[in-house]
Amino acid sequence: MSPAAFAALDVSLEQLCARAGVPLSSRWDTDDFFRLWTAAEAEFDGRDAGLRFGAGGVALGYGVAATVALHAADFRGALAALSRYKRLSCPERVDVEANGDEVRVCYRWLAATGLVPRLLVDTCMASLTELARVGTAGAVAPIRVELARAPMDEALLRRHFGCPVVFSATHDAMVFKRAALEVPFVTADGGAFARVLQRFEQQLAAGVGFSGLLGELRLTIARQLSEGRSPSVDAVARRMHLSRRTLQRRLDESGTHFQQQLAEVRRLTASRLLANTELDTVAIALLLGFVEPNSFTRAFRTWERTTPLRWRERQRGCAA
């Protein structure tokens, strides 16, 4: 959801920024964006707040990319627009992955250094469901929701989405039947759609929006790890169709380096797995590409100033 989405809350944006401890802006980095949503979460008593907010946001036009997507010719075009133009308004990546008879719409916060706020995830998922419902006049609905968090509110979520909900997933995602891609949109407006896309393409060409390099790098590292492949700079550069020298030069220009980005991906993945699964530290170390479990423990101590197991206990204690 874009920064404009906060206008729907019953608290002013200035107050929300003050409570979150972030500057008033129309463009926040991922950490500040998460702090805003965490602060917003504290404003609501109902566990369904994100679901209501996301479902209402499409009609009210709070998501720029979703509003544009409504004018696409079909669900395939809508998802393509959502995926491409999301980064104009917030530091989020939406990947559309077709596999067999399913298509998976995956939300990735590749610059994140902490867990994604529950309210934000629920809002994104509800918004996508509403986009599909409104655009196709109810012909398309999800067949499964996958959430990268520990089980909670399952009955509430199943009622809202009308499908099974899987917890402790690798990423937050919504799954549809692949045939849904061809369903035409009743809200289509080819002329308006083409004009808006032209304007958005001009903005992307001018460098407007959130940088894609670090997001693409983190996604590539994550895919290498998930496939059990080496996360070395050479392997990752090849997968990004770049030379090692070009990748390192571009990272230097961005004020970072490869090992720092690898550590951030490992840190975030480790935090998610420790908080939301029962995997032991040996299994997590292997999933993160560490040769020795002790290497993972040492790295985790550097990141969090405690051991993985103590961190898990502390997180679950806070959630209780």
- Are 53 and 182 found together in one domain? yes
Domain check: are 188 and 160 in the same one? yes
Asked whether residue 215 carries a pLDDT value surpassing 80, the answer given is: no
Average model confidence (pLDDT) across the chain: 84
Tokens of 82: 């959502």
- pLDDT of amino acid 100: 94
Of the candidates 87, 110, 91, the one whose C-alpha atom is nearest the C-alpha of residue 207 is 87
Among 205, 238, 258, which residue terminates a domain?
Answer: 205
CA distance 138 to 131: 10
Asked whether the whole model's pTM tops 0.75, one would answer: no
Residues 221 and 248 in one domain: yes
So what's the pLDDT on residue 275?
Answer: 82
pLDDT number for residue 175: 98
Q: Does residue 194 lie within any of the structural domains?
A: yes
286 and 219 fall within a common domain: yes
- Please give the pLDDT value at position 254: 85
**Inter-residue contact 96 to 120 (CB < 8 Å):** no
Whether 182 and 201 share a structural domain: yes
Residues 154 and 56 in one domain: yes
Q: What is the pLDDT of residue 105?
A: 95
Model pLDDT, residue 193: 64
Which of 205, 230, 261 marks a domain boundary?
205
Strand order in the sheet with 172-177: 93-99, 102-108, 172-177, 144-146, 165-166
Write out the DSSP string of 114-135.
SPPPHHHHHHHHHHHHHHHHHH
111 has pLDDT over 70: no
Whether the pLDDT of residue 194 is over 90: the answer is: no
Residues 146, 74 within the same domain:
yes
Output the pLDDT for position 204.
60
In this structure, is residue 25 part of a structural domain? no
Q: What is the pLDDT of residue 113?
A: 67
Query: Looking at the domain assignment, is residue 38 inside a domain?
Result: no
Give the per-residue pLDDT at 62: 58
Lowest-confidence segment of 45-59, 91-105, 163-177, 271-285 by average pLDDT: 45-59
Pairwise CA distance, residues 27 & 320, whole Å: 34
Enumerate the β-bridge partners of residue 103. Answer: 98, 176
The answer on 222 and 167 residing in a single domain is no
Tens of pLDDT, residue by residue over 18-50, are 888 888 766 677 788 888 888 888 877 688 988
**275 or 129: which leads in pLDDT:** 129
What residues contact residue 45 under an 8 Å CB cut-off, 6+ apart? none
Q: If pLDDT is split at 50, 70 and 90, which confidence band does 203 have? A: low
Q: How many domains does the chain have?
A: 2
User: What's residue 39's pLDDT?
Assistant: 87
Model confidence band, residue 8 (pLDDT cutoffs 50, 70, 90): low
- pLDDT at residue 71 tops 90: no
Please report the pLDDT score of residue 172 as a whole number.
93
Band the pLDDT of 58: cuts 50, 70, 90. Answer: confident
Residue 179 domain-assigned? yes
d(CA 83, CA 94): 5
Q: What percent of the chain has pLDDT over 70?
A: 84
**pLDDT tens per residue, range 282-304:** 999 998 999 888 999 999 999 99
Residues 187, 272 within the same domain? no
Quick one: pLDDT at residue 64?
63
Tell me: do 92 and 110 sit in the same domain. yes
Structural domain boundaries enclosing 279: 213-319
Is 16:9 a contact under the CB 8 Å cutoff?
Answer: yes
Confidence of residue 249 (pLDDT cuts 50, 70, 90): very high
Half-sphere exposure of 221 (CA within 13 A, CB side): 25
Please tell me whether residues 193 and 60 are part of one structural domain.
Answer: yes
Give yes or no: residues 200 and 219 share one domain.
no
Amino acid 94: pLDDT:
85
- Residue 15 within a domain: no
